[in-house]
Structure 1
């Protein structure tokens, strides 16, 4: 950590530089005692946090870590969400990282212990906590697992690193560092609840099988992109596992919860008045298996994950008015689709969006939404729709 980067003149440069980083690299650092690599890291970090971490972005004196640490860091939105899931007297964050989660956990706990084993990152985060007015967080430069000896906590939190020794991305629990599967019994012995953050790539069924004592799984999406999976474990088996999904969309959130079971009754039917497309969090969670039962909708095909109904209802996803349905036939598409403008989606269809646009010369955009899919009888159909907010 180079404290010269905190000087007022250099901070102003970091916050005001609008050029390309490649240009900065070519010109070199205009400041003594600050390398161009250090300066580029700060400019890049300042830019990256504008949307993901606006509080950090607007706070003067924040010191940014390497890009990889920012990439794995929680956003403000997901950090606040996690802090709303747990609370109590004490929380131990055994994989501290950039400290965003510890920052927000401190609003829900009397004591938060942030542990980071990499000295430089630890120094950066403790400095940032001071800038952000969070000096009450107890910070330690150590291996978080060593703090499990002799003391218990209300909650232990972990966000294992998802890079291997060659810096490649990994997502299986056994590939991450630390491997929580090897330490699970020890962790659960020293807390009432264990909150684990994993990659959204991890299969939920496999995670439930490997982690054994899962009580809840939270699938967190922002603007229909799944960002993280959160697992709440306790040192006792659960009679039921609850899957909770949230899709954060601007000022509103879409929620859908269900009990984890292998399957749920599904009704299949022909397209009705309205089309319903579940959001990304529901798709990741497997919640589409429960949509038909909970919302009284029909599914178009076993593999399409599109639903239909006669009435317009509140729904955690996108809603469309079905204007017409027609078979995927050359003569019909030439008349209704060829050289027209529309948003195009495919679900369980043999051709990709790119292939369909090329074949039928469909321009992008407009008020029209075309869904190419299969009906319950495996026949290729096109749903011509308009969006309902």
Structure 2
């Protein structure tokens, strides 16, 4: 950490040039003897990456930004808010893999103390400094291996252990919990000896059912999406908990939050009602489909489903609480119609349980992207390939 970057004139330069291209700044000579052009560019790049993802950091004077990989890997403030709700007031938390500390800072709003562990000593120093800027005094930074720190701590030292295991080992991606670092499967007994609750943030690509076979005492699974992009899976384990795991799909969009809760037993025991497209079409958010609520969501909202494997729902009533996009159906056409006469020059296209991909359909029928028309290419209850023309209900 180059503390010369924190000098008033350097900070003023960064603020005055933060809208400019970092590459352009890097190629010019630095006006400061103790701060390189590359360092100035890195701080400007950090601010630009933080504007939408971390607005609290971006609009706090004097924040020191780390390497871009640390910003790419950290949570957004939107998802960090969810973790804050999981922490009981006045509790003691250890973040074993602290990173840039976004989750740490939000958990610290509820906790009495959060220990931030980070192997990267430079990043740990940056976090400790930024905590003073952000006025979060109850964060204690440990520059070292969080597992070693935990092993040296007395039993029941903490209320919560938070861990975000690395999914990149030897420059390659891994998708099984056992292959991540640290290996949270093997460390469960250690974790439970130090805290009654474990919160693990894992890859959104992870199979939930497989993880539930590896992790003990899982009380909740949170599937969190932001603007229909699945961002995080959280597994909340509670010492000695025995019972059915609750799955919570959390949809964050346009500063709003929708949630849907179910269990896998409920999903398995639910029978879908299949229908042809009615007046409204409901396209579930990715948090719902990732969570596996393919039948439960339709049953809960009283909707029919187009086909067992077509995850679109339909009904005559408008249900604004539905966790996903809602459309008004204009017409339903057999797919074969396009082969004879294509009436669509421009449209937003989606495929659901359909043999051809979006890019193939666009190329084959010369349909440009965009506009207010939405076309769903899918399979219906009679196993027929159909096109649903619809308009988005805002």
Fold match (TM-score > 0.5): yes
Q: Decide which of 372, 379, 385 is 2:377's aligned counterpart.
A: 372
Note closer, same or farther for the CA distance 1:171–1:70 as it changes in structure 2 (3 Å cut): farther
Query: Are 2:261 and 1:257 equivalent residues in the alignment?
Result: yes
1:223 partnered with 2:224: no
| 2:149 corresponding residue in structure 1 | 147
Structure 1 distance, partners of 2:376, 2:344, is: 16
Q: How does 1:212-361 map to 2 (within 5 A)?
A: 212-261=216-265, 263=268, 264-314=270-320, 315-330=322-337, 334-335=340-341, 337-361=342-366
User: Does the aligned pair in 2 maintain the 1:246–1:281 contact within 8 Å?
Assistant: yes
TM superposition shift of 1:334:
4.6
- Determine if contact 1:269/1:298 at 8 Å carries over to the other structure: yes
5 Å-filtered alignment, 1:159-238, equals: 159-166=164-171, 168-238=172-242
1:32-63 Cα offsets, whole Å, 9 max, x none, are 12223322221111110000111110112111
Structure 1 CA distance, aligned partners of 2:276 and 2:289? 21
1:358 Cα offset (Å): 2.2
Residue in 1 that maps onto 2:121: 119
How far apart are the structure 2 equivalents of 1:12 and 1:222? Answer: 33
**Matches of 1:184 and 1:170, distance apart in 2:** 20
- Give, in whole Å, the separation in 2 of the partners of 1:238 and 1:298: 34
- Does the CA contact (< 8 Å) of 2:222 and 2:234 recur in 1? yes
Tell me how far 1:91 sits from its aligned partner. Answer: 1.0
8 A contact 2:272–2:305 mirrored in 1: yes
Count the aligned residue pairs.
386
Q: Partners in 2 of 1:19 and 1:172 — Cα distance?
A: 41
Query: C-alpha distance in 1, partners of 2:319/2:114?
Result: 43
Distance in 2, matches of 1:83 and 1:207, equals: 23
Shift of 1:347: 0.8
Please give the alpha-carbon distance, in whole angstroms, between the structure 2 residues aligned to 1:339 and 1:118.
54
Aligned residues of 2:334 and 2:387 also touching (Cα < 8 A): yes
Q: Kindly tell me: are residues 170 and 37 of structure 1, through their superposed partners in 2, closer, same or farther at Cα, counting changes over 3 Å? A: farther
Secondary structure in 1 matching 2:311: coil
Q: Secondary structure at the match of 1:306?
A: strand
Q: 1:231 to 1:271 in 2, by over 3 A?
A: same
CA distance in 1 between partners of 2:368 and 2:142 (Å): 56
3-state SS of paired residue (2:276) = coil
Deviation string 1:149-180 (CA, Å, 9 cap, x unpaired) is 314211111112222222x3333212222111
Write the distance in 2 (CA, Å) between the matches of 1:339 and 1:116. 54
The 10-residue stretch of structure 1 (112-121 or 45-54) with the greater mean CA deviation from structure 2? 112-121
1-structure distance, mates of 2:44, 2:371:
38
Deviation at 1:339, TM superposition (A): 4.7
Query: How many Å separate the matches in 1 of 2:298 and 2:58?
Result: 43
8 Å Cα contact 1:338/1:360 also seen in 2: no
Kept after mapping to 1: 8 A contact 2:328/2:392: yes
Preserved contact between residue 22 and residue 42 of structure 2 (Cα < 8 Å): no
Structure 2 equivalent of residue 85 of structure 1: 86
In structure 2, the residue matched to 1:54 is 55
Distance 2:211 2:42 in 1: 35
* Number of the residue aligned with 2:73: 72
Secondary structure in 1 aligned to 2:173?
coil
Between stretches 6-15 and 356-365, larger displacement belongs to 356-365
Given that 1:171 and 1:198 are in contact with CA atoms closer than 8 Å, whether structure 2 keeps it comes out as: no
In structure 2, relative to structure 1, the CA distance for the partners of 1:310 and 1:110 (3 Å cut) is same
TM-score under structure 2 normalisation? 0.93
Residues 1:40 and 1:170: Cα distance change in structure 2 (over 3 Å): farther
Cα pair distance change 1:63/1:133, threshold 3 Å: same
Task: Supply the RMSD in Å over aligned alpha carbons.
Answer: 1.7
The answer (yes or no) to whether the contact 2:331–2:390 under 8 Å persists in 1 is: yes
TM-score between the two structures when normalised by the length of structure 1:
0.94
- Asked if the contact 1:215/1:242 (under 8 Å) is kept, the reply is yes
User: SS at 1:135's partner residue?
Assistant: coil
Cross-structure match for 1:27: 28
